[in-house]
Amino acid sequence: MTALAHEHRPPAPLRLRAHWTDHAARAAIAAVVLLLVVFLALPLGAILRQALEGSDGRFVGLANFIDYARTPALLQSVFNSLMVSAAVTAITVPLAFGFAYALTRSCMPLKSLFRGIALVPLLAPSLLSAISLIYWFGNQGLAKDLLQRFGIDQIYGAPGIILAECLATFPHTLMILVSALTLADARLYEAADAMGTTAARKFFTITLPGAKYGLISAALVTFTLVITDFGIPKVIGGNFNVLATDVFKLVIGQQDFARGAVVAIVLLLPAVLTFAVDHIVQRRQTAMLTARAVPYAPRPARGFDAAMTAYCTVIALLMLAMLGMAVFASLATFWPYNLAPSLKHYVYGLVDNEVATGFFNSLEMAAGTALIGTALVFFGAYLQEKTRGMETLRSTLRLLAILPMAVPGLVLGLGYIFFFNAPTNPLNGLYHTLALMTLCTIVHFYTTGHLTAVTALKSLDAEFEAVSASLKVPFFKTFWRVTLPICTPALVDIARYFFINAMTTISAVVFLYSPETRLASIAILNMDEAGELSPAAAMAVLIAAASAVATVLFMLLGRFVDRRTQAWRGTAR
Amino acid sequence: MTHELSLELRGIHKAFGSFVALRHIDLGVRKGEFMCFLGPSGCGKTTLLRVIAGLEVQTGGEIRQNGRDISRLPPAQRDYGIVFQSYALFPNLSVADNVAYGLVNRKMPRAQIAARVAELVKLVGLPGSEKKYPAQLSGGQQQRIALARALATSPGLLLLDEPLSALDALERVRLRQEIRALQQKLGVTTIMVTHDQEEALSVADRIVVMNDGRIEQIGTPLEVYREPASPFVADFVGKVNVLPGRVHGDRLTVGTLAMHANGAGAAGAGGSGSTNGADRDVRVYLRPEDVLARPIAEGDPHVFDAAIEKIEFLGSHCHVRVSTPAFAPHGLTVYLSLNYLAEHSLQVGSPLRLRLLEERVRVF
């Protein structure tokens, strides 16, 4: 009442006097933002600039886009890309849904084995499946007749791309659907049972609506993965052009940077759309499951479980046939005439072609990515979540950390060429170095690591920093004694994710290597181009083996770390 | 009355964008006092505590602690210990390490730290728990350790942000008495934020009732309960009947009953109103326990007949909803003991006579 009369607005908002630790935190957050600006925002800006400039460097507005739209061959690629991506999405999502349903809603035996086999394609570059398909159905393929009996003339082109992409995207789609189907509230099913609902009705009124957002998300992610994938169409596409191969041909083959930039921006559209929709969908999905939900536990049902086991066996056999063929072919002395096993392609094919170094480059880059990437991602996430002040910088960081999810590797790599290859750029010296490729890979896979770190940090009590300040303990001491030890399992997860992806990535780094810094995954492409399919298969198998070993090592590390730092978890009352 | 102030707030104002969370807060906290900030959620009580802690920055105003201006000091340079509703114990550190967290940083010798930790753990009633992890303790035990950690560095001010809200009812009552006893033993100036009026009434030396970013009343628990300064306070603290009334000169009429307006505590908001002769519509606040069923003297002008409509059983006492021609169409809730109801075989529909305590009536 009378207080209103006293109400006054001070002229300027007050600020607390900064403690020196506040300055340290601010400098650190500024450094992370600067890093992401230089290695993400500026390269993307360079693409836009390139797309809007003529060959003489003058601003030409949308002229490049109009020119592009008038080129029939390029427009054909747009159609091809859309068609292939739609087909793969239509095939993979239902197949993966069935598999995910078996994993989450049945009492099928050997679940973790089935799950492990389905995730195998993640360990190798996506083009491993393309190479295997060539050995199965290519001109000298073992089962070529089978293909022709289905009325498909040859595997090269759309059929090969679609089949290979189905195998390569399956684990990604599966993981999304498994997590969607895991989020089920048992009480809904109990209520339905109490009302005597049939199984089919329960499926259509509870299960499917519950997994709706997961399905949307899975479809979008699958579509984007396919439309932006470069390795598979390159290996098995033949004369069937898609957007991703166009970018490569335009930029590397014809040095037509302007058109390459235009195609890159076209490629960016579905990815950005996916990202935006996924973002909204994720938010709804989490809101759906309340804290009081009772987790669903499947009950044994003989017929259903047997059917699910049969289905998963078929899919798992297909996966194994794909991986097995690559292993088998890489060991065959002289395909298809002498199938006796030998290490010829590993020894002569790789070492003598001087591509063996690529394998060590890959290992070096993967180790660098895992180490530096994990440190950077976690530190960035910590500063974003747990320090105070600097709101503008903080929201910039938040945006930059999420952005890589919406940028296909191909587009990022292109941006790096435009930006770092420019003679006027003081960072030009980085071009072609393993260091730049490492940074590019870190940025490429930044978002997933960032989200993992943020989730781990958000699970900590929000008041740790406030308590520390009240006890006059600087924030970095609490970071070291409390935050970091609690989050080590998440750190191991992030490092493993970075390592495996760095081993298998092609799309971004394919623009950045030099003969000295060639990676194993790129060597596969080169050997395939040179017609050396057997050594290419050998290299792909080597990568898969290295990734598998790394996964096991990371698992052991995780267990060791758990024992060292998570003792407090196991001691609940 | 000269009380030495431990903490002094002058004109504290806080806005989040266009939302004003605190409006011109003036407040003095005396040395050794246990003060409660009480109010509904969103009233600004937690924001005020966080401003005092330096975890939020006020938009305007001044904070002094022991005469020193701390308005712009970062949390680390202020002198307080804090306990949060979520305990905020470091889960990967043992109880001893948690309690010693602030001591280690002061470069105290190891043996001295261990002795201090043992002393504090004993003080909060959990001796021998030093080697346990927080997850091995119950909620109440964890909050006791959080309290020990906050007290370890002997701060001049203890801030408690809804420390009992996460605990079950029995533990809540037990711990609040322990906190009060500990506070009196150590003599540490304490501010506790709570939305639970019973909690505030039972432990505080003084209560600050807040609403919508403003202070409604500052007073002892009894003052706040018996002499609420505003309708909001009367409503928020305790249960109350609200009836329409009319003041004419120094006479107050409520329904068919008439009483002396001054004696009826008209000093509330309309105290000055009694000097002008015109009739004035007022709202009359009456607590359930201020309507008595006995003793009733014949000829008492404040006695009226009523009938029981509903009985809400609360344990030893009941809230009894009655209808009465005296206040029709308004009903009244009164507070009667279970024994009384049994003695007179009262049940729904039973008639009874009630007497209103004139001196307890509040008028706004």
CA distances from A528 to A157, A342, B236 (A): 16, 20, 79
Q: What is the mean pLDDT of residues A452-463?
A: 89
More confident residue, A32 or A59: A32
> How close B46 comes to chain A (CA, Å)?
14
State residue B364's pLDDT score.
85
- Residue B351: which H helix or E strand, with range? strand B351-356
**pLDDT tens per residue, range B272-299:** 444 455 688 889 999 999 888 877 777 7
Q: Which residue's entry shows tokens 């322990």? A: B178
Q: A85-94, A344-353, B132-141 — which is least confidently predicted?
A: A344-353
Mean of the per-residue pLDDT values of chain B: 89
State residue B310's pLDDT score.
93
Omega into A125 within 30° of 0, i.e. cis?
no
Q: Which chain B residues contact residue A565 at CB under 8 A?
A: 92
More confident residue, B252 or A338: B252
Residue A228 has pLDDT above 70, yes or no: yes
Interface test with A, best of B63, B92, B113 (most A CBs within 10 A): B92
Give contacts of A 419-478 with B, CB under 8 A.
461-464, 466-474, 477-478
Measure CB to CB from residue B59 to each of A10, A461, A466 and give the nearest one.
Answer: A10
State residue A287's pLDDT score.
55
Residue B271 has pLDDT above 70, yes or no: no
The DSSP line for A184-236 is -BHHHHHHHHHTT--HHHHIIIIIHHHTHHHHHHHHHHHHHHHHH--HHHHHH
The distance in angstroms from the start CA to the end CA of chain B is 29
SS3 B24: strand
Q: What is the mean pLDDT of residues A335-349?
A: 80
Rounded Cα–Cα distance for residues B59 and A389 (Å): 15
- State whether residue A21 sits within 8 Å of chain B by CB: yes
Q: A2-6, A217-221, A532-536, B220-224 — which is least confidently predicted?
A: A2-6
Most confidently predicted of A2-11, A167-176, A291-300, B98-107: A167-176
- State whether residue B101 sits within 8 Å of chain A by CB: yes
What ipTM goes with this model? 0.81
The HSE-up count of residue A50 (CA atoms within 13 Å, CB side) is 27
State residue B262's pLDDT score.
60
CB distance B211 to B43 below 8 Å: yes
Q: What is the mean pLDDT of residues A422-426?
A: 88
Residue B1 has pLDDT above 70, yes or no: no
Residue A502 has pLDDT above 80, yes or no: yes
Q: Which chain B residues contact residue A22 at CB under 8 A?
A: 74
Q: Which chain B residues contact residue A16 at CB under 8 A?
A: 54, 57, 72-74
Residue B22 has pLDDT above 80, yes or no: yes
pLDDT band per the 50, 70, 90 thresholds, residue A13: low
In percent, the amount of chain B with pLDDT more than 90 equals 63
State residue B292's pLDDT score.
85
More confident residue, A251 or A502: A502
pLDDT band per the 50, 70, 90 thresholds, residue A5: very low
List, in order of start, the domains of chain A with CATH numbers: 22-46+344-567 (1.10.3720.10), 71-288+301-337 (1.10.3720.10)
**pLDDT tens per residue, range B100-111:** 999 987 878 889
Interface test with B, best of A14, A458, A471 (most B CBs within 10 A): A471
Residue A334 — φ and ψ, nearest 5°? Answer: -150, 95
State residue B61's pLDDT score.
92
Residue B320 has pLDDT above 80, yes or no: yes
pLDDT band per the 50, 70, 90 thresholds, residue A152: confident
Rounded Cα–Cα distance for residues A458 and A381 (Å): 10
Given an 8 Å threshold on Cβ–Cβ distance, is A17 in contact with B155? no
State residue B59's pLDDT score.
92
SS3 B266: coil
Given an 8 Å threshold on Cβ–Cβ distance, is A470 in contact with B80? yes
pLDDT band per the 50, 70, 90 thresholds, residue A285: low
Does the pTM surpass 0.90? The reply is no
pLDDT band per the 50, 70, 90 thresholds, residue A281: confident
B16 forms bridges with which residues in the sheet? B19
Residue A573 has pLDDT above 60, yes or no: no
CA distances from A218 to A202, A499, A512, B321 (A): 22, 24, 30, 59
Residue B214 has pLDDT above 60, yes or no: yes
Rounded Cα–Cα distance for residues A120 and A107 (Å): 22
Q: Which chain B residues contact residue A474 at CB under 8 A?
A: 76
Residue B62 has pLDDT above 90, yes or no: yes
Measure CB to CB from residue B75 to each of A469, A481, A568 and give the nearest one.
Answer: A469
Token pair recorded at residue B105: 């940083």
Residue A460 has pLDDT above 90, yes or no: no
Given an 8 Å threshold on Cβ–Cβ distance, is A10 in contact with B60? yes
Residue of B nearest to A566 (CA): B92
Measure CB to CB from residue A571 to each of B24, B135, B153 and give the nearest one.
Answer: B135
Residue A198 has pLDDT above 70, yes or no: yes
> How close B92 comes to chain A (CA, Å)?
6
**pLDDT tens per residue, range B28-48:** 999 999 999 999 998 999 999
What count of other Cβ atoms lies within 10 Å of the Cβ of residue A501? 22
Most confidently predicted of A277-281, B106-110, B118-122: B118-122
Rounded Cα–Cα distance for residues A237 and A158 (Å): 7
